[in-house]
Structure 1
Amino acid sequence: MKNNRFEEVYKQGKLTVSKIIRDNETGVLYLVHQEGYGMGLTVMVDAEGKPIIDKNF
């Protein structure tokens, strides 16, 4: 594992970008969406509302 707390594990797009970022301490996945000067960040959750943890973590 790297020394960085957060790691990009998926990226889609060029001008409008969606990324999935993993917290390397907990394995929790976050969705980041960037468009122009705007950006949003949210924890990814399953159908029960629990945070999704990377199975490969």
Structure 2
Amino acid sequence: MKDKRFKVIYSQGTMDVQKILVDRETGVHYLQISSGYAGGLTPLLDRDGKPVIRMINDNE
């Protein structure tokens, strides 16, 4: 089976859920928000407005 492209590195909440996902191919971090039937996804930005990019190890 092919590895999953995204890895969840942080999650909080049960009804209103916030997660940080990392794209294993590009290293870009995303913030995902879910609340009931609504939700959103956006790249996580640093203080200069640039996307947070950091490759992760599968051991993290």
Name 1:34's counterpart in structure 2.
34
Cα distance in 2, alignment partners of residues 31 and 8 from structure 1 = 10
Aligned residues: 55
Give CA deviations for 1:4-57 in whole Å, capped at 9, x if unaligned.
111111100001000000000011100000001000100001111111013x62
Cα distance in 1, alignment partners of residues 19 and 41 from structure 2 = 10
Name 1:51's counterpart in structure 2.
51
Cα distance in 2, alignment partners of residues 17 and 10 from structure 1 = 10
Cα distance in 1, alignment partners of residues 47 and 7 from structure 2 = 24
Structure 2: give runs of 5+ residues left out of the alignment: none
Task: Give the 4+ runs in structure 1 shifted more than 2 A.
Answer: none
Name 2:17's counterpart in structure 1.
17
Q: CA RMSD in A?
A: 1.4
Structure 1: give runs of 5+ residues left out of the alignment: none
TM-score (norm 2): 0.83
